[in-house]
Structure 1
Amino acid sequence: MNYQEAIEYIHSTYKFGSKLGLENIKYLLNLLGNPHEELKIIHVAGTNGKGSTSSFIHGVLKTEGYKVGLYTSPYIEEFTERMQINGEKIDKQQLARLTTVVKEKIEIMLSEGKNHPTEFEVGTAIAFAFFAEEKVDYVVLEVGMGGRLDATNMIEKPIISVITPIDYDHMEHLGDTLGKIAFEKAGIIKENNYVVSYPQETEAMEVIKKVSEERNSQLFVADFDSLKVDYSTIEEQKFSVEVLEKSYKDIKITLAGPHQIYNCCMALTVVEALKQYQNIRISDEAIYKGLYDTKWIGRLEILDKSPLTMIDGAHNLQGAQALKKSVETLLKDYKVTFVVAMLKDKDVKGVLKNLIPLMNRVIVTTPNNPRGMAADDLAKELVSFGKNICVCTSVEQAVNKAYKITENTDAILFAGSLYMIGEARSIINNKKKAFTKEKN
């Protein structure tokens, strides 16, 4: 297969749905020679902040000089974003070759009467094969959904397990209480190991503590009591914190939003645990530089300065609450045009309730996904807020409309669906020059 054929094949497996369970992926990886068994893995579960926390950890290890794989999902613009080494996306020809190999093994599975792997299982198998082939030193591996039955949970002995903030999401698969969801996330905790958790809500924290004790794993809970924030702007944030009795002064990061400080502290706790308990060499210099250099697309990412144009991946209640705080602090001096799209199975009312009151103008559109909520239906949910609503049938139309009605001194914010912000990002980056010319 060439690259385009490989991508079409991977996406064609979407029809096999999202099935939690390890039987299929175990069989597929066995046919591939169990590439995951060769890897040293930092396994990251949670509802929000997984990608940013993983990216911070990856950035520090890379800066220290290690060869570091990063596996995340979903992607924003291009599938190759999902598997990277030291910030470089997988080569398209290499992806095509590895996909061909995986497809051949799947055909063997099918001939033996096994079920067809899901799209996420296919992607995970390709990633494991890629990282093993490239002989990386470490892999920062982000869970797709849940943890206990997620395809990434084939690894038997990660060097550390990480659980970021837990919230209500994917409840049809993971359960309808924080305790049930936490139980699924805590499924990545292995025997006689190390765990770093965000300080969760009580119900979730109790579950994580119980599972850690049952599996004789040492649990570290990130502690924000010592956190002192010096400043928080769109361009840069500076803070000091103590983690695992090690003091870090004057840390600077360029990821925007108050929540990224907490994600960074989580990553710092993981890094310090790796140093102290896994004897991994990581210098203070690598920590400071690695955190500062970390970039993560689609998370309060600035795409344009005139007007200030940002995209954010907030698509559930906790994400919307974090974005709300960012808007209140970073965009308080701007009139904001908000472009929103949602998937039908998300907490639409919860997201809107947090964000819409802060916005001056609202544009609704439909994300390019089978689960996408129609723009007209979303507009109906907005009527009670008393805002001026513009309905656009496509993301491109929404982007054009936002630039047309927004002054250069105001701001545009895209959020609500990762599928929508990815498409908006491509459109804006391609059209920036044209937009600027049109404005002037």
Structure 2
Amino acid sequence: MNYEEALAFIHGEQYKGMKLGLDNITKLMDLLGNPQKELKFVHIAGTNGKGSIASFINQILIKAGYKTGLFTSPYLERFNERIKINNHDIADEQLSNITAEIKDKINEMEDKPTEFEIVTAIAFQYFYEQQCDVVVLEVGLGGRFDSTNVIENPLLSIITSIGLDHQAFLGNTLAEIAFEKAGIIKKNSQAMLYPQTGEVEEVIHRIAAERNSTVNKADFSKLKRITNSIEGQVFHYKGYQDLRISLLGEHQLKNVAIAIEAIEILRDSGLSIREDDLREGLAETRWPGRFEIISHNPFFVIDGAHNQDGIHALVTNIKQLFTGRKIIGILGILKDKDYQQMIEEVSPVIDQFITVTPDNPRAIPADELASYLTKHHIAAVAAESYEAAIKLAYNEIEENDVICAFGSLYYIGEIRRVVQQGH
């Protein structure tokens, strides 16, 4: 099996869709010899901030000398990005070999796994073969029935900020969604919680208590931002002075606070992590596609903001970093998102929209989205392709203006690739 064949197998039509429950992934891992049982995990669930928090923790652990696996989704430009060790993507050959092995095991299964279950199994097998010291593991969707939840005793479970997203699968209220996310908390374990609304915290504390687990929480009142610019942020947190990150936005400071607290719990559990490891790890963390400036003069920003909380953070960043500048927004969005609310919040800071159709069956067609915007008296034009959208945007701006592409992670990776190759 070569690389192209491996990807064709993983993305095969028979594996599309979603099946709630852990039966299939449990069976598949049994057939593989349960490699996940030989690994140590930091498990992360939540609506927003999972990837950023995972990246901070990953980089600090690497700095501390640990061989660190990282499993995230979705990818921006290339599938291999989802499975990394010490920031290096899984090689094509390794992906192909492990996929071939897993294909043989799937042939023994009566009920076939989903695509995400297959990808999860590939990651576990790879991290096991490469003898990772720690794996930072991000859930795909929810938590309780997410295939990553086949793991048994993580070093730490982290619940990030919870908002309304994927209601069709996770529930219609924050409390229902919190219940699904809290499913990653295991018996007699440590959990880390992003401070949030009372109803969410109540659910998580209840589930943790039922499982005799300890809930730790960051203290955002101890966060103090010192400087904020397009180059990054400097801040204090508790006893740590003048910490630096390149990720932009006030919400990233809160994500960092969670990461710092997580590192302290890992240190207490026996990992050797110095303050210098923490400082250097934070400063060197990169998380592409999250308010990432990919070009200057004019500025070109990409942001995977695709729900209400993400849009709120995007608007805050634009106001703080680009006030007084003309902003051209490239917008591509999926039908199952609350795009009306998102547009209502973001439109006051965008001077003109250029709409695109993300490469996803759930995408809103660009012309349909442009029509919706113009009906609400918002300047908008549809583009036939990402390249056309980028060209239109550059034609509308001058040197100090800003282009911002946002709305779905399913297309900004391609925007990133086109811009960096030269528009």
Q: TM bucket by the smaller chain?
A: over 0.9
SS in 1 for 2:153: coil
Equivalent position to 2:220, from 221, 224, 243: 224
Give the deviation of 1:343 after TM superposition.
0.4
Output the TM-score relative to the length of structure 2. 0.98
The alignment of Structure 1 onto Structure 2 pairs a total of residues equal to 423
Alignment of 1:63 onto 2:63: yes
Q: Which residue of 2 aligns with 1:260?
A: 252
Cα deviations by residue, 1:390-429 (Å, 9 ceiling, x for unpaired): 1112222212211222212211000001111011111111
Alignment of 1:248 onto 2:240: yes
- Cα distance in structure 1, aligned partners of 2:207 and 2:85: 32
Give the deviation of 1:356 after TM superposition.
1.3
For the 8 Å contact 2:15–2:113, the answer to whether it is kept is no
Cα deviations by residue, 1:205-228 (Å, 9 ceiling, x for unpaired): 110010111111110111111111
Q: Output the amino acid matched with 2:187.
A: E
Give the deviation of 1:87 after TM superposition.
0.6
Cα deviations by residue, 1:2-28 (Å, 9 ceiling, x for unpaired): 111111211124753022210000111
Q: Which residue of 2 aligns with 1:299?
A: 290
- Cα distance in structure 1, aligned partners of 2:7 and 2:217: 39
For the 8 Å contact 1:356–1:385, the answer to whether it is kept is no
Residues 30-45 of structure 1 mapped to structure 2, 5 A cutoff: 30-45=30-45
Alignment of 1:165 onto 2:185: no
Cα deviations by residue, 1:298-357 (Å, 9 ceiling, x for unpaired): 011111102100100100111111111111111113211100010000111121111111
Q: Which residue of 2 aligns with 1:26?
A: 26
Q: Which residue of 2 aligns with 1:412?
A: 403
- Cα distance in structure 2, aligned partners of 1:201 and 1:416: 25
Alignment of 1:424 onto 2:420: no
Give the deviation of 1:142 after TM superposition.
0.1
Give the deviation of 1:234 after TM superposition.
1.3
Q: Which residue of 2 aligns with 1:327?
A: 318
- Cα distance in structure 1, aligned partners of 2:225 and 2:34: 45
Give the deviation of 1:387 after TM superposition.
2.7
- Cα distance in structure 1, aligned partners of 2:376 and 2:250: 26
- Cα distance in structure 2, aligned partners of 1:390 and 1:403: 14
For the 8 Å contact 1:16–1:116, the answer to whether it is kept is no
Equivalent position to 2:147, from 144, 151, 161: 151
- Cα distance in structure 1, aligned partners of 2:284 and 2:102: 34
- Cα distance in structure 2, aligned partners of 1:385 and 1:56: 40
**Which piece of structure 1 moves more, 220-229 or 125-134?**
220-229
- Cα distance in structure 2, aligned partners of 1:250 and 1:14: 51
**Which piece of structure 1 moves more, 50-59 or 14-23?**
14-23
- Cα distance in structure 2, aligned partners of 1:294 and 1:14: 37
CA RMSD, 1 decimal: 1.1
- Report sequence identity in percent: 46
Gap regions ≥5 residues in structure 1: 436-440
| 4+ residue runs over 4 A deviation | none
SS in 1 for 2:136: strand
Q: Output the amino acid matched with 1:378.
A: L
Q: Output the amino acid matched with 1:248.
A: Y
**Which piece of structure 1 moves more, 1-10 or 121-130?**
1-10
Residues 103-114 of structure 1 mapped to structure 2, 5 A cutoff: 103-109=103-109, 114=110
Q: Output the amino acid matched with 2:236.
A: S
Q: Output the amino acid matched with 1:137.
A: D
Gap regions ≥5 residues in structure 2: none
Output the TM-score relative to the length of structure 1. 0.94
SS in 1 for 2:135: strand
Alignment of 1:87 onto 2:87: yes
For the 8 Å contact 1:2–1:93, the answer to whether it is kept is yes
For the 8 Å contact 1:376–1:391, the answer to whether it is kept is yes
Equivalent position to 1:347, from 334, 338, 342: 338
- Cα distance in structure 2, aligned partners of 1:66 and 1:27: 30
- Cα distance in structure 2, aligned partners of 1:420 and 1:356: 20
Equivalent position to 1:194, from 190, 195, 214: 190
Equivalent position to 1:272, from 264, 280, 283: 264
